[in-house]
Amino acid sequence: MDMSEINFSLDYAGVRGELRHDQPMKNYTSWRAGGSAERIYLPADLPDLAAFLRGLPWNEPVYVMGLGSNLLVRDGGVRGSVVVLHARLNGLQLESDMGQMLIYAGAGVACAKVARFAALQGLGGAEFLAGIPGTVGGALAMNAGCYGTETWDIVSSVQTIDRLGILRRRPPGNYEIGYRHVALKAEKSSGSQKMGARENAPDDSLTDEWFSGAWFALPRDHAAAVRQKIKELLARRIHTQPLNLPNAGSVFRNPENDKAARLIESCGLKEFRIGGAMVSPRHANFIVNTGGATASDIEAVIAAVRETVKKQTGVELKQEVRIIGTPARPELHVSRTAYRKDGGYGG
């Protein structure tokens, strides 16, 4: 076995998680494609994650992901540390806050698990989470939704962690929330740096903040009725989505008063392919890996779909999936494609 693939425990101050070097990201993303990460860290729990973040150099690139269901890593890989939260920050429990019953879920909990847990508690309103193939952290970061409901519709408050390992509990009012968009509102600073900030670190290195969990407020409902709704939503998902092949869910956001899938299909792009990447014949807003697709194949299909739809319909499709890392060869980079540059969640 390659020694770089062996897990080991970090041995410095308070850190207990697993650090893995030179890891192929195709093993961590739902597209099953992409280059390697310089480092991957799997925290033991929330205090361990805080200790890990505090120990990083201020200029270390950090990316946080869950199931990797909304993420493409370019074939040249990604420098820095990728923190994988799925099944790590996995707390899930019923709590009471001033007489109101809330469900707390850690950022690494799969969304479908939250939906099932709510049903067991006789709480409704979270059924749509069963149709989101990602984690709570990813759903919060992009306000994921389906079948008419979005994640932040049921959020009571969230917990975040920053690069200094500081935890905060924030209400929805701290954020600008929209369709597939969540951004922390600008805060007035009482000082030049946060308490405990590293000397000589640029200001923007102190603003990285990731979701570590959330409290969901849900109304009482009949458990049997909630379970039936979940069953119906899952049946609809199986019928309409290409779940038999690796994919990252919806690639583009729906334009106002329209559907990305309808626009793509109207341009005759179903089954359009480059290499092993293909626009799904079942759902035109899904790009599937038919076998052996590279990240460059997938990115090229994304760019071609956007360009064709723009040319034929005049609509500029906005990308929903995140793309990080460097191309295997610079000349393969598709500069027309717009990318998010934050280190947020990938599903």
Average pLDDT over residues 279-294: 97
- pLDDT tens digits along 143-188: 999 988 999 999 999 999 999 999 999 999 999 999 999 999 987 5
Quote the CA–CA distance of 280 and 291 in Å, as a whole number.
Answer: 13
For 140, the 3-state DSSP assignment is helix
- Asked whether the beta carbons of 215 and 155 are under 8 A apart, the reply is yes
Full-model pTM: 0.86
Question: Helices in 190-315 by DSSP H: which ranges?
Answer: 223-240, 260-266, 295-313
For this structure, is 189 an active site residue? no
DSSP state of 249: S
Do residues 279 and 308 make contact, with C-beta atoms less than 8 angstroms apart? no
**Tokens encoding 97:** 């806050």
Tokens for 169? 């509990």
**Catalytic residue status for 265:** no
From 180, 198, 227, 237, the catalytic residue: 180
Give the integer Cα–Cα distance in Å for 50 and 166. 7
**Alpha-carbon distances, residue 184 vs 155, 173, 324 (angstroms):** 15, 9, 21
pLDDT digits over 198-254, tens only? Answer: 444 444 444 589 999 999 999 999 999 999 999 999 999 999 999 999 999 999 999
CB 230 within 8 A of CB 119: yes
Catalytic residue among 30, 250, 280, 296: 250
- Separation CA 336–CA 344 (nearest Å): 22
pLDDT number for residue 116: 96
| 250 catalytic per annotation | yes
